[in-house]
Homo-oligomer: A and B are copies of this chain.
Amino acid sequence: MTQDPAPSLADALARAAGSIEMCLDALLPLPAGPEARLLTAMRYAVLGGGKRLRGFLVMEGASLFGVSETCAARVAASVEMLHAYSLVHDDLPAMDDDDLRRGKPSTHKAFDEATAILAGDALQARAFEVLAEPDTHSDPQARSELVAALGAASGARGMAGGQMIDMLAAGRTLDATEVTRLQSLKTGRLIQYSAEAGAILGRAGSHQRHQLAAYGRDLGAAFQIADDLLDAEGTAEETGKRTGKDEAAGKATLVSILGAERARAQAAMLASQAALHLDSFGPRADRLRDLATYVVERRS
């Protein structure tokens, strides 16, 4: 089993991460006043870290429709800001109480709790603002759709709702159906949005948009199981975050419910299923297919 992405995928991931980083840097300039501390914390939370899986999905999806890389990078940066805000808030003492993130102190440890709460809030606001700005797309209809879909994916019926279920689950045991639903909200919806955003940017027809959304949904589910396997089996050194958290917190995952072997098979099945949704896109979608393989085989 390979642990590194295929060379062409590795190149594309690195290139996308570079574009997204530059875009984020430009979108979050430091102001002169005392509020510079807030921007410093926002930049700390979002720059220089992570695989940029979500941003990569936006950029690869958009490339299927010939969308300019500049526009796609702005949407990718928005999704990464949204994702980063959720990590900053999830790491807070009142939530998952996590001191380590991407191999460095989490934002509330590097700054303080108040700054971390505000940095998360302001990253969310900036994510929506960037989507709505004319530079993101010449057609305001596309911009509005990007905003509305991100709101739905990240709000009470998406990511935030999933995190609420996760908080409530501490101390009781969820079954496989409940865990699957929790994860599809908590992480799946934003990954699905990321894949779908390329189709929105490309003004794709509803069939292609649904295909990309379905790809994102299955990819997200596979990704989450792989993440839980890494938490159960990986080391903090490999993953850049504390591992063994789920077991320590008594949190049910598909790994704890099904066992590692069946969970791994389930992830592989979902990854194959994700790739099948891309059939109508032909070889242009090969990197997205490689990505589906990679997310379940990665070691970090």
Residues of A within 8 A of B (CB): 31, 33-35, 37-39, 42, 85-86, 89, 92, 94-95, 112-115, 117-118, 120-122, 124-126, 128-134, 139-141, 143-145, 147-148, 150-152, 154-158, 160-165, 167-168, 181, 185
Cβ of A79 to closest chain B Cβ, rounded Å: 13
B34 near A168 (CB under 8 angstroms)? yes
Please give, as numbers and ranges, the residues of chain B lying within 8 Å of A131 by CB-CB distance.
147
Asked whether B164 lies within 8 Å of A37 as measured between CB atoms, the reply is yes
Nearest Cβ on chain B to A74's Cβ, whole angstroms: 12
9 further A-B pairs in the complex, CB-CB below 8 A; given A37-B164, A117-B117: A33-B161, A33-B165, A89-B121, A122-B160, A122-B161, A132-B148, A134-B144, A140-B143, A143-B147
In the complex, which residues of chain B have a beta carbon less than 8 angstroms from the beta carbon of A92? 117
Separation of A131 and B150 alpha carbons in the complex (Å): 12
Bound-state Cα–Cα, A161 to B125, Å = 12
A113 & B94 in contact (Cβ 8 Å cutoff): yes
A112 to chain B, nearest CB (A): 8
Shortest Cβ distance from residue A188 to the other chain B in the assembled complex, whole angstroms: 14
A154 closest partner in B (C-beta): B125
Q: Is A125 a contact partner of B125 (Cβ separation < 8 A)?
A: no
Listed residue (A33, A34, A181) with the most chain B CB atoms within 10 angstroms of its CB: A34
How far apart sit A155 and B145, CA to CA, in the bound complex (Å)? 21
The 10 closest A-B pairs by CB, nearest first: A129-B151, A125-B155, A94-B113, A35-B161, A132-B147, A132-B148, A122-B160, A122-B156, A38-B164, A140-B140
